[in-house]
Structure 1
């Protein structure tokens, strides 16, 4: 069984939220995810901030981040600005903006984010298969560049490769499961042309990471998992979703007692770095210090 087929079977357990990911503005996305207390970008933010700070100390230049599965630029909003998910939920309040056109929402967002302080030494590129989400994130200024592409089914365009060469950090917060090692195989030749980037993935516990880890290993990476710590992604959308996820976890030999059994999808954190860098500073020391 291929990784993608295996992931598709696991994804059948999850609520289908596809309809909110390709709207012309983020209102439906945030309105629906607020109901589920979607919080993984918030929980991932301090980890990413520590990685970015360490990379700045080492590399002494603007840090370029590539966000895989970036949707409307949520991680970028949190990393570039002093914002939380609650701030974004309030900003894109569906009721308050009910009568606005998508064009009016985007213009409002452009002005709002332009008014906030933004670091001069951080640029964020986003990849997502949702063309509307990418276009919106670019128009509002959350992404410095966006690529609307599904790397599971199509190669990286030649024109995009040059722009990805400076990438210092690749991040994802929940896209593994839709994304397999195939996407990384297509990205790695582009993002490793200069210095090798660090690759930071928050992965739901029901999805195995071994195939991606093996692919990264072939490119000289050592992958570490942050043991003993999980990160809430969101609440289960239904009892049925929870029951099916618990079943998949048990099949993988993972005990959900006291974790997913309490009502939330949980992710674990994996960091892949060039072998020498991983040996120099262990993961626990890097993100928990």
Structure 2
């Protein structure tokens, strides 16, 4: 469910491949996975033996894993999936093309990648082209992790989130930590229109310290003036200054790093 005050892009996550996702978000200059890429890579590089698994929550088509484990940029992915050549292909043909596309760009320091999402089609595509080692279609807001997921999470050393915190509460993270068996770092890019306080409190209750970055990054352009007006009003109510950020036409995110 889309947060109140935001335009819904829910439909693009139910498609059999990522072309609709990139086509829909491109005009609004969606940027967050690109900003997250160097952060997630640096954190993954710190993972020790036995903890070389990155869990991406709300992973959709595996975009964060693509950027983490492959020599590719977000701009290149937009160009790749919105090209005239891509538009000519069936989903099966696109998947064949993508397996080669990602295989030749695979980084030697690639980590094991697990994805969690409520969209089965998005997960299936990410698995089919090799972006995820495992994918779990589950809503941890309302469901306890199944045995297969619990077993898969044992080697998790980092949890990443770019777009999901607006849809999640502390319940998801408490269930993940229970399944993993111990707290692990959580790197989340959080919209300034979202209150992350309850999730931060949950992470701190497990002994983590949540560091809130001083700077913010643009997430995407607003779709219309009403969406912008609501965002400006919300961040102002949170005590944030929208000048140069929401007032300039973009949602903004901030990195919250718990470790």
1:14 to 6, 19, 32: 6
Do residues 144 (structure 1) and 142 (structure 2) align?
no
Distance in 2 of aligned mates of 1:213 and 1:219? 10
Say if 1:120 and 1:249 are closer, same or farther in 2 by CA, change over 3 A: closer
CA contact 2:51–2:155 (8 Å) conserved in 1: no
Do residues 220 (structure 1) and 207 (structure 2) align?
yes
- Gaps of at least 5 residues in structure 2 are none
RMSD of aligned alpha carbons = 1.6
Q: Equivalences for 1:186-197 in 2 at 5 Å?
A: 186-193=175-182, 196-197=183-184
Distance in 2 of aligned mates of 1:11 and 1:22? 18
SS in 2 for 1:147: strand
Distance in 2 of aligned mates of 1:252 and 1:134? 34
1:54-99 CA distance string (max 9 Å, x none):
33xxx24562100011110101111111111111011112543223
Aligned to 2:93: 104
SS in 2 for 1:21: helix
Aligned to 1:242: 228
**Could you list the runs of 4 or more consecutive aligned residues of structure 1 that deviate by over 6 angstroms after TM superposition?**
none
- Gaps of at least 5 residues in structure 1 are 1-7, 274-289
Between 1:46-55 and 1:92-101, the stretch displaced more is 92-101
Structure 1 residue 174, shift from structure 2 partner = 2.0
CA contact 2:70–2:110 (8 Å) conserved in 1: no
TM-score by length of 1: 0.85
CA contact 1:63–1:121 (8 Å) conserved in 2: no
Do residues 70 (structure 1) and 59 (structure 2) align?
yes
| Count of residues in correspondence between the two structures | 259
